[in-house]
Structures are given as structure tokens and as C-alpha cells.
Structure 1
Amino acid sequence: MTTYKELLKQREALEAQISDARQRELSDAVTRVRGLIEEFGLTAADVFPPARGRGVSSAKGGKVAAKYRDPATGATWTGRGKAPKWIADQDRTQFAI
């Protein structure tokens, strides 16, 4: 049976081997990729096209034009959310802008 210290030394040796193997394979992969890029004349845009749908929507959080105006006070409402008291339970066509 191996001791705790021996196991730690084995782990350190394995981690060093793993790191070395990763560096070798990474270097080989980069060399192959560079060769393919050169062979086919690829650009960064060819390999990494712009992402779609990740940007912030321009409509999100934007201001909306008012659709209704209270003739008595001049207050306006966009028609979104809870209706204000001055237009609630009334025909909205008479308040349309």
C-alpha cells in the first residue's frame, strides 16, 4: 500500500506530464490550423462569423410615443401598462392623439 506522500508525488508527476502533453498537442493543433488558413486563404470572418441575436435589442427600453392625451390636464399615456385613472373605464378613442 502506498502512503499519502507517495501519492502526492505521483499526482505532481502526472500533472507535469499532463501539462507537457497539453502543450505539445496545443502546439501541433495551432500549426495545423495555421496551415489550413494559409492553404485556403481563410480570414477571421470566415472562421468566426459574427454572432447573431446576441446584441441588445434597439427597441428594448426605448421610448414610445404617446397615443392618448387627457384634454383637461394634458397628461399623456402610451397605451402600455396599467391605464391611468383619467382614461380607465372610458372609450379611449376620444383621447387618441
Structure 2
Amino acid sequence: MASLKDLLAQRAALDQQIAETKDRERSDAIAKVRSLMSEYGLSVADLSAKVPKAVKTSKVAVKYRNQATGETWSGRGLQPKWLKAAIGAGAKLDDFHV
């Protein structure tokens, strides 16, 4: 069985190998990217200029509100649990209309 000192030495050696491999692979990746950029005539500006902007979505107006809790529903999609429970207890959908 290995001693703690031996295990710590192995760990240090592995940490060193990990760092060296990480640096080598990173350097290889950078060289590969530079090669591709050179091959296709790309610059750093080309990489960031083609990003599409996010599409703005409009919010849907609230159609139903639970007066007790302030929870709301737009009327789209599945009915929320609070509304299903209220309707199941005898309330009408129109009771929550805004």
C-alpha cells in the first residue's frame, strides 16, 4: 500500500502533466485557428461582426388575474394550477377576467 507521501508525489506529478498537456493542446488549437483564419482570409473583426442580434419578443397582455395572490395568466397555453383549482371549486373564468 502506498503511503500518503507517495500519493501526494504522484498527485503533484499528475498535476504537472495535466498543466503541460493543457498548455500544449491550447497552443495546438490556437495554431489551428490561425491557420484556418489565414487560409480563408479572416480577421478577428470577422469573427465578431456576423453575430445576429436577438429578436425582440413582445409580451402578451394579462387577461386573467387572481385577486387574492396577484398571479396572472395571459390566456395562452395551459391554464395555470391556481385557475384550474378555482374553476374546480365553482368559480367562473369570467370572475378572473381583467
TM-score, L = length of structure 1: 0.48
TM-score, L = length of structure 2: 0.48
The structure richer in helix per residue is: 2
Q: Flag the structure with larger Rg.
A: 1
